[in-house]
């Protein structure tokens, strides 16, 4: 019966997902009983229609009547079970979610059963179980991303979303005073002064601006800013040898420089240009006394002039276009470090910014929610900053976001586990899930790297005439890996094409920007779990007109994996006459291109045309992430993970006493059974998957599922061999 259920999921998931990514032409009324009944009726009708199509396909495949009935009934029950949770979604989002989750659950059950029933032998069975555990984790990551996509694209009735079309609340006659804090470190003075000039034009009656220069070591950079601030009435402080980095600088501003009358604290990065209406729009949200922070999207400027920066811009869109609205609906939004306001009394109650975390902004928002405050995300952009101008700076930023996200997960893990609200922890289940999922999604990149190792080992084993590992990974190769690849593509299509209006070329380029940072994110996800103190990634200095070999050197890890992937493809194609060879080569192609995209993007970023002042900033960008690298226990964590992966591969390579049975989804039609396994070829001949389990029909090989973190989001994003993390949560 499991095989029949799996076949039903393979057919239903692509069909159930296809409609989600087509914009509805007619705008329905969304609130009230009538729209709720309409959504329910359409979801039920869609389920019935989908079940009928699945029944027809299974009948054509020769599945017996009894198994066919069980499979269709299971699909219908799975859809009905999710109706209460998806009642505010349209029918297309409901079917996408329910069929994809059905597919994941049935696949994992089928894979576990096959692991024990396929004559793998004791050692390989143990390895297979460890691999199955990784697949469970991959499925959880995929579900987290899929929920965000369905929630953002399928929700018809939003309860908390603040869109640009909504009329803001009126400011009180005596509006609260706002203190805007602008931290800077080793920034060009012209850019910082430009940011301060825009801040002085805000259309708001009561506010102050404070510039905190955080340990800039070149006096020629901060002295002009100090002089400008003296002339224009902006508070200024230069901190030398001050601990705590950005958090320490913000704490200094809060405790030493902020006007005692200030009720709200704002944080603005030193490269932003703020629109005049920012404070009027966002301060109005604080009329609700339980709002602890308000976050507007981070947005960017000067990205249209070069293909690389266009791709990078669209890659950033995911978090604020998909993740934040979904999280905000369940009061799980994060404070993202700039373009946000915080209630001062709440910040004081919590003791200010925590200086142990390098993503202090996101960590603060979690503590605010845990203390019982609420957060609010607004959709409209009110300011535009500058994106990382080199690919190496982007890698450093992604590393920092991931490392900090894992720090938060490690330090607050107990607060995020299911449980009742208490005086110490007011987090509701949806809020706990938002932050827990946001943390674990970073491990999607590590998972993708591990699965890439399995693919490379399988290709080597196949090329050397063994094929033992490939036979034992047959089910994994034709199901789990395509799931993740499909999930990444879904996010790229759903977000970048429908959400941002990017061209196909820019959407694909943005997707590969996510992919090209997967190695550094995987590294940060391990180090963040084991390192005792904060660490930034040291990135190499690249010249303004970088040669192609400089890009290879600056990204030597990704380049090495790309070369290994190429060798694996060539090795797999030495068995081109067998299905196993082309299948492995095809599965290796996507992650290999993702790794090769790193040096390509590095070269493209350095060669992209920029105005003179931005070229100068690009040439010194490597100076801004200057924390020492934490080694010791963190390095031991990397070794531990590598050892576990090597052990699993070795266990899977152990010979079996009996021929390994390949999975067979469609058994003899005459018997009505769909679970009879077909024996694999002798050990000397690499087994090939049965046609009914081809990559084109495996779970997730269509936009039915969602992406784990290579990127997770936001990760927002987020990945076995090629899925992406959502554009990481921008936190500083």
Please give the share of the chain, as a percent, with pLDDT higher than 70: 79
Write the CATH number for 265.
3.90.550.10
What local confidence, expressed as pLDDT, does residue 101 receive?
92
* Short-list 247, 605, 544, 141, CA closest to 395: 605
Does 497 share its domain with 638?
A: yes
Whether the CB-CB separation of 168 and 726 falls below 8 Å is answered with: no
Q: What is the pLDDT of residue 412?
A: 94
Q: Do residues 383 and 447 share a domain?
A: no
Helices 122-154 and 480-491, packing angle to 10 deg: 20
Length of the chain (residues): 732
- Residue 302 has a CB neighbour count (10 Å cut-off) of 16
Query: Are 321 and 467 members of one domain?
Result: no
Tens-place pLDDT, residues 670-710 = 334 434 343 334 333 333 333 333 333 333 333 333 333 33
In a domain, 101, yes or no: yes
| Phi, psi for 211 (deg, rounded to 5) | -105, 120
Phi and psi at residue 377, in whole multiples of 5°? -100, 135
Three-state SS annotation for 369-437: HHCCCEEEEECCCCEEECCCCCHHHHHHHHHHHHHHHHHHHHHCHHHHCCCCCCCCCCCCHHHHHHHHH
pLDDT value, residue 677: 40
Predicted confidence (pLDDT) per residue in 147-181, tens digit: 888 888 888 888 888 888 777 777 878 899 999 99
Does 457 lie in the same domain as 383? no
- Classified as helix, coil or strand, 187 is coil
| CA distance to 113, 187, 274, 633, per residue, from 194 (Å) | 63, 12, 10, 43
Domain that holds residue 326: 177-392
Q: How much is the pLDDT for 540?
A: 52
3-state secondary structure of 79: helix
Q: What is the CA radius of gyration of the chain?
A: 26
Q: Are strands 262-267 and 273-274 parallel, antiparallel or unpaired?
A: unpaired
Tell whether the model's pLDDT for residue 577 goes beyond 90.
Answer: no
380 and 525 in a single domain? The answer is: no
Does residue 13 have a pLDDT over 90?
no
Say whether both 69 and 182 belong to one domain.
Answer: no
What average pLDDT score do residues 182-199 get?
A: 94
Task: Assess whether pLDDT exceeds 60 at residue 484.
Answer: no
3-state secondary structure of 529: helix
Residues 185 and 285 in one domain: yes
Same domain, 383 and 450: no
* DSSP H helices in 218-304: 219-232, 245-252, 278-283
Tokens of 255: 């405790």
Please tell me the predicted confidence (pLDDT) of residue 28.
Answer: 60
Shared-domain flag, residues 77 and 225: no
Q: Is the pLDDT of residue 669 over 50?
A: no
Identity of the highest mean pLDDT range in 168-177, 327-336, 709-718, 721-730: 327-336
- Mean of all residue pLDDT scores within the chain: 81
pLDDT of residue 688: 36
Question: Domain ends where: 392, 421, 451?
Answer: 392
| pLDDT tens digits along 430-468 | 999 999 999 998 998 898 888 888 888 888 888 887 766
Is residue 554 predicted with pLDDT exceeding 90?
no
The whole-angstrom separation of Cα 124 and Cα 129 is 8
- How many helices (H) and strands (E) the chain has is answered by 27, 11
Note whether 6 and 110 are within 8 A (CB): yes
Contact in structure between 70 and 5 (CB atoms under 8 Å): yes
Torsion over CA: 283, 289, 292, 298 (sign) = negative
pLDDT at 649 over 80: no
* pLDDT tens digits, one per residue of 578-617: 777 888 888 888 899 999 999 999 999 888 887 777 777 7
Q: What is the pLDDT of residue 50?
A: 94
Note the pLDDT tens digit of each residue in 613-639.
Answer: 777 777 777 666 544 444 444 556 667
Burial class (CB in 10 A: 0-12, 13-18, 19+), 603: buried
Total structural domains in the chain? 3
| 679 beta partners | 661
Residue 195 C-alpha from the chain's centroid: 30
487-535 tens-digit pLDDT: 556 655 666 666 667 777 888 888 889 889 999 999 999 888 887 665 5
Is 492 in the same domain as 630? yes
Question: Tokens for 583?
Answer: 């299948």
Distance of CA 450 to the CA centre of its chain: 17
Alpha carbon 622 to its chain centroid, in Å, reads 25
pLDDT of 500? 66
SS3 label, residue 333:
coil
Residue 619 confidence (pLDDT): 73
Strand 273-274 relative to strand 383-384, pairing: antiparallel
Structural domain includes residue 165: no
The answer as to whether 172 is a domain residue is no
Query: According to the model, what pLDDT value does residue 33 have?
Result: 87
Report whether 22 contacts 93 (CB < 8 A). Answer: no
pLDDT, position 401 = 92
Residue 576 lies in a domain: yes
Q: Specify the pLDDT at position 264.
A: 98
Query: Which three-class secondary structure state does DSSP give residue 177?
Result: strand
Predicted pLDDT of residue 253: 97
> Comparing 200-204, 490-494, 535-539, which segment has the lowest mean pLDDT?
535-539
**Does residue 709 lie within any of the structural domains?**
no
pLDDT value at residue 171: 80
User: 215-265, pLDDT tens digit by residue?
Assistant: 998 899 999 999 999 999 999 999 998 988 899 999 999 999 999 999 999
- Predicted confidence at residue 457, as pLDDT, reads 86
At 673 the pLDDT is: 41
φ, ψ for residue 236 (rounded to 5)? -140, 140
Q: 662: part of which helix (H) or strand (E)?
A: strand 661-662
Query: DSSP character for 577?
Result: T
Of 549-553, 598-602, 656-660, least confident by mean pLDDT is: 656-660
pLDDT tens per residue, range 63-114: 888 889 999 999 999 999 999 999 999 999 999 999 989 988 998 898 888 8
Distance of CA 20 to the CA centre of its chain: 20
In a domain, 155, yes or no: no
Same domain, 248 and 326: yes
pTM of the model: 0.84
The pLDDT value recorded for residue 703 is 32
Nearest to 312 by CA among 544, 500, 542: 500
Query: Distance (Å, rounded) from C-alpha 646 to C-alpha 19?
Result: 42
**Residue 473: what pLDDT?**
67
Q: Of 380, 276, 294, which is closest to residue 341 (Cα–Cα)? A: 294
Of 127, 121, 126, residue with least CA distance to 646:
127
Residue 8 has pLDDT above 70, yes or no: yes
Return d(Cα 448, Cα 467) in angstroms, integer: 22
Q: Is residue 403 part of a domain?
A: no
Q: How many CB atoms lie within 10 A of CB 413?
A: 11
Burial (Cβ within 10 Å: 0-12, 13-18, ≥19) of residue 495: buried
In a domain, 367, yes or no: yes
Q: What is the pLDDT of residues 286-305, one digit of tens each?
A: 988 999 999 999 999 988 88
Identify whether residues 240 and 380 lie together within a single domain: yes
């Amino acid at each position: 019966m499991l095989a029949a259920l799996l076949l039903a999921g393979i057919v239903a998931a692509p069909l159930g997902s296809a409609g989600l990514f087509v914009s509805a032409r007619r705008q329905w009324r969304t609130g009230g009983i009538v729209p709720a009944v309409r959504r329910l009726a359409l979801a039920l009708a869609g389920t019935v229609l989908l079940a009928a199509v699945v029944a027809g396909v299974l009948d054509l495949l020769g599945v017996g009547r009894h198994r066919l009935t069980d499979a269709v009934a299971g699909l219908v029950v799975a859809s009905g079970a999710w109706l209460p949770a998806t009642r505010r979604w349209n029918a297309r989002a409901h079917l996408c979610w329910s069929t994809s989750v059905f597919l994941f659950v049935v696949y994992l059950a089928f894979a576990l059963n096959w692991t024990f029933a396929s004559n793998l032998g004791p050692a390989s069975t143990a390895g297979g179980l460890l691999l199955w555990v990784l697949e469970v984790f991959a499925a959880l990551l995929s579900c987290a991303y899929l929920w965000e996509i369905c929630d953002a694209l399928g929700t018809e009735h939003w309860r908390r979303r603040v869109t640009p079309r909504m009329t803001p609340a009126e400011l009180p006659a005596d509006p609260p005073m706002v203190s805007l804090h602008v931290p800077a470190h080793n920034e060009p003075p012209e850019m910082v002064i430009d940011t301060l000039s825009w801040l002085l034009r805000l259309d708001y009656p009561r506010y102050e601006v404070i510039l905190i220069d955080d340990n800039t070591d070149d006096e020629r950079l901060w002295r002009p800013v100090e002089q400008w601030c003296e002339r224009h009435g902006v508070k200024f402080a230069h901190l030398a040898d001050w601990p705590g980095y950005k958090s320490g600088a913000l704490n200094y501003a809060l405790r030493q420089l902020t006007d005692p009358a200030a009720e709200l604290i704002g944080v603005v990065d030193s490269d932003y240009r703020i629109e005049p209406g920012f404070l009027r729009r966002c301060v109005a949200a604080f009329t609700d006394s339980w709002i602890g922070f308000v976050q507007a999207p981070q947005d960017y400027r000067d990205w249209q002039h070069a293909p690389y920066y266009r791709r990078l811009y669209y890659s950033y869109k995911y978090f604020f276009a998909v993740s934040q609205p979904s999280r905000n609906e369940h009061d799980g939004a994060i404070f993202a470090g700039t373009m946000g306001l915080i209630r001062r009394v709440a910040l004081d109650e919590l003791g200010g910014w925590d200086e142990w975390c390098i993503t202090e902004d996101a960590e603060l928002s979690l503590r605010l929610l845990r203390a019982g405050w609420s957060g609010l995300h607004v959709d409209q952009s009110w300011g535009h900053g500058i994106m990382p101008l080199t690919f190496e700076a982007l890698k450093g930023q992604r590393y920092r976001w991931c490392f900090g996200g894992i720090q938060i997960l490690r330090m607050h893990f107990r607060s995020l586990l299911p449980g009742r609200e208490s005086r110490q922890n007011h987090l509701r289940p949806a809020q706990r899930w938002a932050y827990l999922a946001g943390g674990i999604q970073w491990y999607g990149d590590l998972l993708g790297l591990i699965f890439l190792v399995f693919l490379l080992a399988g290709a080597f084993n196949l090329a050397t005439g063994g094929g033992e590992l490939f036979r034992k990974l047959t089910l994994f190769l034709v199901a789990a890996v395509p799931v993740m690849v499909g999930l990444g593509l879904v996010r790229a299509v759903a977000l970048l094409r429908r959400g941002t209006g990017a061209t196909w070329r820019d959407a694909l380029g943005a997707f590969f920007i996510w992919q090209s940072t997967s190695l550094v994110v995987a590294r940060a996800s391990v180090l963040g779990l084991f390192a005792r103190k904060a660490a930034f990634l040291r990135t190499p200095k690249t010249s303004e007109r970088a040669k192609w070999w400089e890009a290879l050197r600056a990204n030597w890890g990704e380049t090495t994996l790309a070369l290994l992937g190429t060798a694996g493809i060539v090795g797999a194609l030495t068995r081109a006459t067998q299905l196993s060879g082309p299948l492995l080569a095809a599965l290796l192609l996507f992650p290999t291109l993702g790794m090769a995209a790193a040096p390509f993007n590095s070269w493209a970023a350095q060669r992209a045309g920029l105005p003179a002042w931005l070229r100068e900033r690009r040439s010194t960008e490597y100076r801004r992430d200057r924390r020492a690298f934490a080694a010791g226990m963190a390095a031991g964590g990397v070794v531990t993970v590598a050892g576990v992966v090597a052990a699993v591969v070795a266990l899977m390579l152990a010979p079996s006493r009996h021929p390994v049975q390949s999975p067979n989804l469609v058994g003899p039609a005459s018997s009505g059974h769909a679970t009879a396994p077909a024996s694999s070829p002798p050990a000397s001949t690499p087994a090939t998957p049965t046609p009914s389990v081809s990559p084109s029909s495996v779970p997730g090989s269509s936009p039915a599922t969602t992406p784990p973190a290579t990127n997770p989001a936001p990760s927002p994003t987020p990945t076995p061999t090629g899925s992406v993390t959502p554009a990481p949560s921008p936190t500083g």
